[in-house]
Structure 1
Amino acid sequence: MKKKKIWLIAAIAIAVAGLSFVFFNDKVSVSASSVALAEQGWKANFSSSLHQEAIDKGYIYITDENGDRVDTEMFIHENGKTLEIRGIPIGEYQLHIKNAALKNSFMKSLVDTEVSFAVQEQLEKLSGEEELRNYFARLMEMQQNNRQFGGIMQEGSEETAESADSAAGESGSSGANGDYSTTNNQVEGVDEADLVKTDGSYIYSISESRVVISDVRNPQEMVVAAELPFTEETYPQQLFLSEDTLVVMGSRFSAMPIDNFQLPHSQLPHLGITSVYLYDISSPESPQLIREFGAEGNLSGARLANNVLYFVTNVYPDYWVLEEQDEPELRPHRYDSNDGGELQPLPYDSIAVLPGTMEGSYSVITTIDLNAPETNDISTEGFLGGNEQLYMNEESLYLTASAYVPLDEEQMPGNREMAIWLPQQANTEVFKFSLSGTAVDFLASAEITGSLLNQFSMDEYNGYFRAVTTEGIAWDLTSPSKNHLFILDGQMNQVGSVEDLAPGERIYSARFIEQKAYMVTFKETDPLFVIDVSVPSSPEVLGELKIPGFSNYLHPLDENHLIGFGYDTKLVPVKGGEPRVVTGGMKISLFDVSDFTDPLEKDTEIIGGPGTYSALQYDHKALFTHQEKNLFGFPAALYAETGGDYVEFEGEGALIYTITPDGISQAANLIEQTDDQYEDWNTAIQRILYVGGELYTVANGEIKSYGLDTFEPIGSLVFDK
């Protein structure tokens, strides 16, 4: 009965926290990449600790392809579970580990083990089918040894951080009707895909399984100029505008192309595809589909820079089919309407293994120059190794992936057969690619301690990559979390760091602005850290501000002021225990950072009560800005506290604020009060934008226009269902 109770508690914890779990026994597993670059060395991770003297005693050694021992720099990290090898020449090698290398070899079983790996001067493409099958066969063996069940949950999905100059890129562009909104992008000159785009005359928006093109040249009489419907299997997700080309990115399922497979089409295995539809919108009333192409996988991120489209997908092949089939297709697929539109696997010479990884997923990078969208070649490259976050400027693309850290034995629960793996218990692999037109070339990679929150946790400035991470778990009292900042050079070698900030807290938001880094951590109060990163080799914390609440998103106002969007919090006394942190309404903070050593919260605005939220708190592209008028707006749903633990829905819409260095003031309240108990997803505002002298709110089912000076209603356009 006691054992059942333990399992029940564990199951509930996993269900509530969204965690997966790993089973351990006395067998020790080894996890290591099959590829390393000579400049960066090679690592192997063990699920149990090694003796620090194991190398000197000959329990661990390396042989080359001829079986001869190799003398090289080899050491065991302080955690006892990571073996690192440096200064090893290009070639094929085997790592030999004897059971005596383990600290608890009398309790653990490793069996004398050999791990094969290759050291390359630069990333090499696969030689053919055999190499790919061997990769997945080795991965399966590692996973069987680890006895893993279920997948590790990943945190966060996509997006942002760069210079204060990016604020200028958010103010708008010149269009047919004057200035108009652009997407709130992280990096100036690099556009991000979004639900809504405008060219100053028309608004392009996603409405369920279609794209609606709305003519807003007359804000009093807006009309639907055209609709782009999609099939039931296709779901439009993101949009780009590139001169006279509308880019619609969507997801769909397609039957896997299998030769001699005697099954109806509906019963064939299906692949998840990210499809791209290119429309000629030189005449927006009659858009013409000029090309369709795509790549297998879920969309991880997309960017448009110098009129080149870049997008990344994640592919998870069912490599366990190797146990059942002799020649399964394990390569990612792609298609192009210019080549017949049939799904085709990537050539082996378009696939490489990212160094430092041993994962069963691909990162697929696809590019096309949109200067001639009908005819230009499409480049698709596959890299074994998944990705979670994406950062890009005009010269470089960075992908990151979690490198999970085995739990120490003393961290395991009383029942040692089970240990819960948490997303925070991970380091981060960072992969750097150079960009030149449609060419995307791998340059280098590095592993940094801790996990990233989102794209704003990293950036590149003057050739240096900077990132902030959280290591550990905020509520783990035995081993409190801590936060770090790392700076790496162009070859991804670490040159500077600030470590162990805000013990027991985790990062809630970050922003890099040229030579300064701003980071918000939280557990009971909101410390805003100001960090000088002007000298990459010696970054330094200049100031720290502790206030109630926390910011989910930081936005530059000017060189001396920063805006934080997040939540208000308060500490509620608990009889006989520690005070409890309670989240209240949404909070806007104006930070004065003119004195970097003494940051100040100059003004605040509290919106609604507990339950109040905005899409801005998890999606920076929901922020509306008008730089000349100092306007900042966002969609919002308002809730009020009714007593006890209950909240009441009051209404939804948009809020517009004037924010200057002097303070925050509300410019417009476009919240529609209601007696309904629930939000209406069809009329809930997704984006706010302006065209000339009018403001527009865009929802799934309608667009409304307002005067930009008065915020009085002008007109509305309801989409047909």
Structure 2
Amino acid sequence: MNYRPASSNQDRGEVKRFDSEQDFSDWLEKADSLAAYGGDSGVEMGMGMTRAISSIQTEDMAVAAPMASVSEKSSFDMGGGSAPDRFSGTNVQVAGIDEPDILKTDGREIYFSPGIMPILYRGMPTPMPLDVMPETFSIEEPYYDQQSSISVVKAFPAEELALDSEIKGDGDLLLHDNILAVLSYDGVRAQNVSDPASPQEVWQVSYENNSWLVDARLKGGELFLILSSSINYARPCPYAPLLGIEGKVEIACSAIWHPVIPVPTDVTYTVLKVDMATGKVKQTASFVGAQGSSAVYMSADNIYATYSLPADTFTFVSGFLMANADVVPSYVLEKLDQVINYDLADETKSVELRNVLGRWFQSLDQDEALSLVTEMNNRIGDYIKVHLRELQQTGIVRLDTNKLEVKSSGSIPGTLLNQFSLDEYDGFLRVATTSGETGGMFWMYGLGGGRNDSANDLYVLDMNLKVVGQALGMGPDERIYAVRFVGERGYVVTFRQTDPFYVLDLSNPRRPTVEGELKIPGYSSYLHPLKDGRILGVGQEDNRVKLSLFDVTNPTDPSELDKYSLNEYWSDVLDTHHAFLLDAEHEIFFLPGSNGGYVMSYSDDELKLSKAVSGIRARRALYLDNYLYVAGDDQIVVLDMTDWQRVNQLELR
């Protein structure tokens, strides 16, 4: 299929700023009318900033490195005492840009924030199988320790493992130059941890006016916060999402961006650039939106904000009826032509079209109605297969990171999976989308329910956000489960019954091609580049965690070199890439499970279990020199990576 989005569709992504409070209110009234008339039926709509800033990329970083790590002591100010020659950082999409997580290290100290968790009474009996249960048996109810805290642990040398101090509260962490930022549900608190035994709070900001944190990123000494704020319909602007160290941070009406085409809206998203050392807000940018899954991607110079555009069901259904004139009465087609030419908003036309169709359907006897419904359901299915990319559109805006001003806008068919669906490379933006799965958007027209027809595509956009290249039709009637871009290659996993693994050649951005495909059982929901020509997939097969080692040396003939199944239904890696740890020097990786932690080797192109760490509800792991630190809800276990023996352990609760 040689589908290319029409220029009118690309123009739907145009955005501008409000002129005044009245302008905002008028826009909201139009947007609300869309929801009232069912404009969002079955389709996620609204301009949503995402749950994640996907990455920030340096200019000369040709290949997105999977892991932030430090290999030399001089890279950080370690202060007095010994320091490791190497240590790991949080697994991030792009090296050098940190993402919030529950575990951080500076090479000597570990900062761990497991959050509020159930604490079981010691001596609690172990549950036994029913056939060996005694006649009288009871288990004490667990209680919850509400006094959550962040553990500051002396981690290096390993034999001196000890708890230095605790910081009250919990939240995700970011660390830069002895400043530890704790991102909690109500604000950000920054601690100076230069003296690990006595952390001192140096600044604090709090979320205001029904605002909450969506996500954050750290680039050098700049903290990027993404906040979402409920709209006050009585007075939508100005609004103040944050109480900063210098008072309320107020966002003026003229600083809020919105799509030119009104979309159902219930929140405003604000990007704030904060100085990590002082807590001062340096710059802001704001967008209207709706709560839901969208995506934001940051490069060194640009911020890409994506949002879902409303489905134009009126145009779609009108086209369907016109294309099937042999079963539609002439008077209905004549009335439809009149409605199309009305100088009215599409939502009003949609109401009139439903009235016309309703009168037609009511004029039929039961036999005629059954025959029509059966025929229409079949025909609309065929029509959707050809036109499914017209149903769902994602708008994209590009902002300059220096001034946070919109530089360009556009749109593409489909919806995005997560932060890994976006990637900027060599002046182009690559985006992977899924189109289709219509939900119940046609019920209101009496044309049947949703369908599972879908298509998965790759689009390449220039800096004006115009589509310049595309590779279409991966995994028909499936949806994307995982995406990874590595330099001039792209890797996409789709799934419904089997796991097609696609390799894309992106060396020519104007002619991207699907070079190879591999179909295997199960699916991968996280892809991680290993050494040259090797990609690791983490997913599931037969309700167990499955690891796949892919050989992509020949992009036209990818293969699964090896696979390994864990006796686990779930791993946190399936939910967050932060739970994954790679040590390329030892050719091993770590992933947590509900029964413990697992150290896997991928040397010699084989997946082998090097060590299973039991007796711990593993959450994360990191390495300092040749020691692996496995962090669980209530303890840290240290392993010597030369023989995988336990060398130390610290109880945290």
TM-score (norm 2): 0.73
Q: Contact 2:216–2:226 at 8 Å: present in 1 too?
A: yes
Cα distance change on mapping 1:328 and 1:336 into 2, 3 Å:
closer
Matched, 1:618 2:575: yes
1:664–1:151: structure 2 CA closer, same or farther, 3 Å change rule? closer
Answer 1 or 2: which has greater helix percent. Answer: 2
Deviations 1:10-63 (A, max 9, x none): xxxxxxxxxxxxxxxxxxxxxxxxxxxxxxxxxxxxxxxxxxxxxxxxxxxxxx
The reply on whether 1:392 has 2:298 as its aligned counterpart is: yes
Distance in 1 between residues matched to 2:180 and 2:612, nearest whole Å = 33
* Distance verdict in 2 for CA 1:710–1:190, change over 3 Å: same
Match for residue 589 of structure 1? Answer: 548
CA distance in 1, matches of 2:107, 2:636: 15
Residue of 287, 306, 311 corresponding to 1:383? 287
2:161 to 205, 213, 222: 222
Give the match for residue 550 of structure 1. Answer: 523
- Helix, strand or coil at the partner of 2:401: strand
- The one-character-per-residue Cα deviations of 1:275-299 (angstroms, maximum 9, x if unpaired) are 1212222212211111112445333
- Structure 2 counterpart of 1:126, which letter? F
Q: State how far apart, in whole Å, the 2-side matches of 1:240 and 1:479 are.
A: 41
- What's the offset of the Cα at 1:454? 1.0
Does 1:167 pair with 2:61?
no
What is the aligned counterpart of 1:242 among 176, 180, 186?
Answer: 176
Higher alpha-carbon deviation: 349-358 or 128-137: 349-358
* Counterpart residue type for residue 284 of structure 2: T
Aligned residue for 2:573, secondary structure, equals helix
1:448 and 2:412 equivalent?
yes
Match of 1:305 in 2: 219
Question: Are the equivalent residues in 2 in contact too, given 1:197–1:205 (CA < 8 A)?
Answer: yes
Question: Does residue 1:189 correspond to 2:96, yes or no?
Answer: yes
Q: Residue 582 of structure 2 aligns to a residue in which SS?
A: strand
Question: Is the 1:171–1:626 Cα contact (8 Å) retained in structure 2?
Answer: no
Q: Deviation string for 1:359-407 (max 9, x for gaps)?
A: 422121010233x425x44323222235622222322222222224255
Question: What is the one-letter code of the residue matched to 2:504?
Answer: I
Contact 2:305 2:398 in 1 (8 A): yes
Structure 1 gap segments, 5+ residues each: 1-76, 88-116, 231-235, 253-274, 320-326, 417-421, 569-582, 638-651, 673-682
Q: Does 1:560 align with 2:560?
A: no
Q: Secondary structure at the match of 1:565?
A: strand
2:228 to 314, 317, 326: 314
**1:195-250 deviation per Cα after TM superposition (whole angstroms, max 9, x unaligned):** 111111111121334322112234345332222214xxxxx432111112111111
Q: Does 1:430 align with 2:364?
A: no
Per the alignment, in what secondary structure is the counterpart of residue 36 of structure 2?
helix
Q: Which residue of 2 aligns with 1:502?
A: 475
Q: Report Cα offsets for 1:496-550 as digits up to 9, x if no partner.
A: 1011222111111111111111111122221111111111111111111111121
Give the deviation of 1:430 after TM superposition: 1.9
Cα deviation, 1:648-669, whole Å, max 9, x if unaligned, reads xxxx111011113522111111
Report the Cα distance in structure 1 between the residues aligned to 2:40 and 2:544, rounded to whole angstroms.
41
Q: Pick from 23, 37, 55: which aligns with 1:131?
A: 23
1:336 shift after superposition: 4.0
Mapping of 1:436-585 within 5 angstroms?
Answer: 436=402, 439-473=403-437, 480-568=453-541, 583-585=542-544
Does 1:700 pair with 2:633? yes
Paired with 2:508 and 2:587, the residues of 1 have a C-alpha distance of 33
CA 86–290 in structure 1, closer or farther in 2 if over 3 Å, else same: closer
Deviations along 1:441-463, one digit per CA (max 9) or x if unpaired, are 22222211111111111100001
SS in 1 for 2:89: coil
Say which SS state the counterpart of residue 358 (structure 1) adopts: coil
Q: Which residue of 2 aligns with 1:715?
A: 648
Identity fraction in percent? 27
The superposition leaves residues 99-146 of structure 1 with CA deviations (integer Å, 9 ceiling, x where unpaired) of xxxxxxxxxxxxxxxxxx9x99xx654333222222223323333333
Distance, in Å, in 1 between the alignment partners of 2:494 and 2:565 is: 19
Alignment length, in residue pairs? 526
- How far, CA to CA, are the matches of 2:41 and 2:562 in structure 1? 49
> Offset of 1:318 from its aligned partner?
4.5
Query: Are the aligned partners of 1:359 and 1:384 in contact in 2 as well (CA < 8 Å)?
Result: no
Instruction: Give the TM-score taking structure 1 as reference length.
Output: 0.66
The one of 247, 270, 273 equivalent to 1:367 is 273
Shift of 1:480: 2.0
Q: Which one of 141, 161, 164 corresponds to residue 33 of structure 2?
A: 141
How far does the alpha carbon of each residue in 1:447-500 deviate from its partner, in whole angstroms, 9 at most, with x for none? Answer: 111111111111000010001111112999966211111000011011010112
C-alpha distance in 1, partners of 2:228/2:300?
22
> 1:317-332 maps to which residues of 2 (within 5 A)?
317-319=231-233, 328=235, 330-332=237-239
Structure 2 CA distance for aligned equivalents of residues 517 and 149 of structure 1: 33
For 2:365, the equivalent position in structure 1 comes to none
SS of structure 2 residue aligned to 1:564: strand
Equivalences for 1:49-88 in 2 at 5 Å?
Answer: 84=8
Other structure's SS at 1:431 match? strand
CA distance 1:522–1:626, shift in 2 (3 Å): same
CA distance in 2, matches of 1:246, 1:180: 18
